[in-house]
Each structure stands twice: as C-alpha cells, then as structure tokens.
C-alpha cells in the first residue's frame, strides 16, 4: 500500500517505469530545503561578527588626550606697590625670603625683578625694589645673581606691581581645558568617554606636584640607618622591647569585647 501523506509520500520512491515527472514531491522538497539553506547562508554573509579582543576601549583615554608634559616656565611673585608707600612690609619681606629659598631648592641660578616704568607708582616701586633685593639675599640668593629690569606699563592710571621671577621646570598640559570639540550627548557605542573627561584632573595633578621630575622618574631611596638597625637587632637578641612604648594597656581581643545577655 502506498502512503500518501506527510513526509513519507515525499520520500517514497516511484516504481520503475513510472511516468511521473522528475520534479515530483521528493525533488520539490529537496529544492525547498536547498533554497532555505541558501537564504540562511546569505544572512550569515551579511552578519558581521564581533572581534574577539580583550578590553573594550580603543585608546588610553584621558592620558592620551590630555598628557602632562614638563616644560621650562617662569615662577613669579607679584608685590603690590602703592604710589605713596614704597616701603616693604615685614610680612611681604618674609614672603619674598621664602620665595628666594624656594628658587634655590628648584636649582635656579638667579632671579629677575621687573620694576614698572611709566606708572604713577614708578618712583615708589624703584625704592621698594632695593628692599626686595635685601629680602632675596636673606633667602640665600647672592646679590650678584639678582637683576632689576624695567617694564613698560600700558595703563598709566594703574599702580603696577613689582614682579619677581625665576625659571623652573613645571608640569602642565599641552592645551587648556573646556574646548568641548564633540557633543556630550552623542551616543558612544564604542564605550568611549567624552573628550573633556579627565582634563581638569590632569591639570590639577600637574599644578599640585611638588617635584615635576617625579612624573618622569621616581626619587631614589635613602640608605638605611645602620646605627638604628644594629640597636634594634641587639635588643631583639636580648629579648628586650624593640618598639616605642605608647602607654597602651596590653589586653587580648577577648578581654576587649563585651557581650550582651
């Protein structure tokens, strides 16, 4: 008996000598399956596989966009001068002395005093500049390493300050913050932050670092104190206490914990 339903009819082999067309139900099903396979192959060809890489960022982020560089720049101190004063106060003289000491620590070989010229306080500034030289010398800067240079004031109605300057190596960014070249609201499907992210942090780090060379190479460690080390080892060998006595009572952990009912 010939089965004429379901997949059995499609898979049935016609008898020898049958006059059925070669495009019978079995061949039609094979053509349909082949067409489905080709369609799926076309979808697979259009589907782009995600790259198998470790990490989800394309660059080093804010360190690459806002790098900290070392450059030589002027360290300045402005001293206000009144047109009728011309006398350096004790507090300002102490500030100038500390400024001179800092210049010595930074390795500066000299300082420059910029005295205003053409302003109403020109005469008072010139008198005060001599007192500034004395305050700088008190900070360890030789008077031969101090130079006084006049500078022209554009606004003659203003009392221009005296500026003290010396060159030093500073850490700073290569550009100012707040440019915003791209929109913050732009969708970032590549898991990238916006351009300004980290700029202010990098600028603050560059401004606060005490020794900019620490950003390039760390400072070396000082040699250990051999005398102190020998003293501690000798006490340890004798069974004596090797640390300072802070006066705290010695107690176990169980004694220091109080329990409830």
Q: Kindly report, residue by residue over 226-247, the tens digit of the pLDDT.
A: 888 888 898 888 888 887 666 6
78 inside domain: yes
How many degrees, rounded to 5, is the angle at CA 63 between CA 62 and CA 66? Answer: 70
| Residues, the chain | 261
Token digits of residue 69: 């560089």
Burial of 220 (0-12, 13-18, 19+ CB in 10 A): exposed
113 inside domain: yes
83 inside domain: yes
> How many structural domains comprise the chain?
1
Q: What CA–CA distance (Å, rounded) separates 204 from 198? A: 10
Give tens-digit pLDDT for 117-130: 988 889 999 999 99
Residue 115 β-bridge partners: 150
The Cα-based distances of 180 to 41, 86, 176, 205, 237 in angstroms read 45, 46, 11, 21, 66
Token digits of residue 87: 């006398």
Report the CATH number at residue 125.
Answer: 3.30.1330.60
Task: Per residue of the chain (261 residues), give pLDDT as tens.
Answer: 444 444 444 444 444 444 444 445 565 655 555 555 555 555 555 545 555 555 555 556 788 889 999 988 899 999 999 888 888 999 999 999 999 999 998 888 899 999 999 888 899 999 999 999 999 999 999 999 999 999 998 877 678 999 999 998 889 998 999 888 876 666 566 667 788 888 999 999 999 988 888 888 877 888 888 888 888 898 888 888 887 666 655 555 445 545 554
81 inside domain: yes
Domain that includes residue 133, residue range? 74-167
130 inside domain: yes
209 inside domain: no
245 inside domain: no
This prediction has a pTM of 0.54
94 inside domain: yes
- What count of other Cβ atoms lies within 10 Å of the Cβ of residue 113? 22
The string over 80-98, giving b where at least 16 C-beta atoms fall within 10 Å of a residue's C-beta and e elsewhere, is: ebeeeebebeeebbeebbe
């Amino acid at each position: 008996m010939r089965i004429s339903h379901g997949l059995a009819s499609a898979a049935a082999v016609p008898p020898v000598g049958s006059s059925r067309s070669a495009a019978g139900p079995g061949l039609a099903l094979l053509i349909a399956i082949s067409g489905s396979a080709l369609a799926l192959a076309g979808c697979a060809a259009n589907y782009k596989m995600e790259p198998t890489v470790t990490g989800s960022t394309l660059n080093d982020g804010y360190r690459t966009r806002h790098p900290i560089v070392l450059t030589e720049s002027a360290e300045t101190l402005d001293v206000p001068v009144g047109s009728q004063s011309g006398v350096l106060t004790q507090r300002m003289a102490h500030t100038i002395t500390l400024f001179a000491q800092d210049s010595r620590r930074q390795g500066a070989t000299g300082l420059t005093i910029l005295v205003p010229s053409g302003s109403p306080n020109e005469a008072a500034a010139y008198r005060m500049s001599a007192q500034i030289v004395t305050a700088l010398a008190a900070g360890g800067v030789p008077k031969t390493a101090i130079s006084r240079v006049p500078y022209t004031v554009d606004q003659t109605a203003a009392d221009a300050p005296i500026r003290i300057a010396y060159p030093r190596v500073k850490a700073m960014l290569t550009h100012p913050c707040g440019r915003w070249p791209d929109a913050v609201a732009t969708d970032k499907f590549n898991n990238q932050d916006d351009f300004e992210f980290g700029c202010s942090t990098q600028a603050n780090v560059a401004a606060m670092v005490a020794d900019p060379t620490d950003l390039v190479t760390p400072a070396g460690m000082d040699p250990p104190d051999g005398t102190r080390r020998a003293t501690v080892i000798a006490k340890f060998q004798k069974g004596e206490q090797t640390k300072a006595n802070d006066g705290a009572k010695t107690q176990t952990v169980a004694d220091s914990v109080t329990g409830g009912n």
